[in-house]
Amino acid sequence: MPSTTVQDLKIDSLQSLSQAQVGCDFQIKVIEGPGCDQLRKLGFCETLQVRKLADGRNLICNVCGTRMAVSKELAEQVKVTPLEA
């Protein structure tokens, strides 16, 4: 299936929220994984802006003005790109 490989490539070039740098703003590009429904309900949606506030076992981020604490495993499923300054 060639289409999936193209998408995979695109995802590979993104970083996950758990690897992202603290204190920076990002845009959410892709959410996928077993926890994606849970994430979407809490406001993690594609195209939205997110700021990572703290790292750790659970990381803290700000999505559209709401502070959320999410576990590392969940943050792994959120792929982001840095927002241009």
Partner 1 sequence: MESSQETIALAGNPNSGKTTLFNALTGSSAKVGNYAGVTIDLKHGEFHTPHGRKLTLVDLPGCYALDDSSPDQEIARAVLKGDHEKCPKPDLVISVIDASNLERHLQLTLQIIELDIPVIVALNMVDMAEKSGLRLDPVKLSEELGVPVVPIRADKGKGLIELKQAIAHPLPPASKPHWKTGDEKDRREFGLNVAQIAARRPDRQTSSSSDKIDAIALHPVLGWFCFLGIMFALFWSIFSFSSIPMGWIESLQELLVGQVEGAMAEGDFRDLITHGIIEGVGAVVIFLPQILMLFFFIGLMESSGYMARAAFLMDGFMSKVGLSGKAFLPLLSSYACAIPGVMATRTIDSAKERLVTIFVAPWMSCSARLPVYLLLVPMLLGGSEGGVTQAAIFMAIYVVGTLTAFLVARILRGRLGPDEVEHHFMLELPPYRLPQWGYIFRHVLDRGWAFLKNAGTIILAIMILLWAASTYPKSESDDPAEQLAHTVVGRVSAAIEPIVKPLGFDGRTGTAILTSFAAREVFVGSMAQLFHVEESDEETETRTHIRERLANETWADGSKMFTPAAVISLLIFYIYALQCLPTSAVVAREAGSWKWAVGQFIFMTVFAGVASLIVYQTITFFTG
The angle subtended at Cα 41 by Cα 39 and Cα 45, nearest 5°, is: 65
Q: Which of residues 42-61 bind partner 1 (CB under 8 A)?
A: 42-43, 45, 47-49, 51, 53-54, 56-58, 60
Cβ-count burial 35-65 (b if 16+ within 10 Å, e if not) = beeebeeeebeeeeebbbeebeeebebebee
Residue 26 touching partner 1 (CB under 8 A): no
Least separation in angstroms between residue 16's CB and partner 1 is 14
Residue 22 touching partner 1 (CB under 8 A): no
User: Considering only CA atoms, which of 20, 8, 25, 22 is closest in space to residue 63?
Assistant: 25
Residue 67 touching partner 1 (CB under 8 A): yes
The residues that touch partner 1, with contacts defined as CB under 8 A, are 25, 34-35, 38-43, 45, 47-49, 51, 53-54, 56-58, 60, 62-71, 73-74
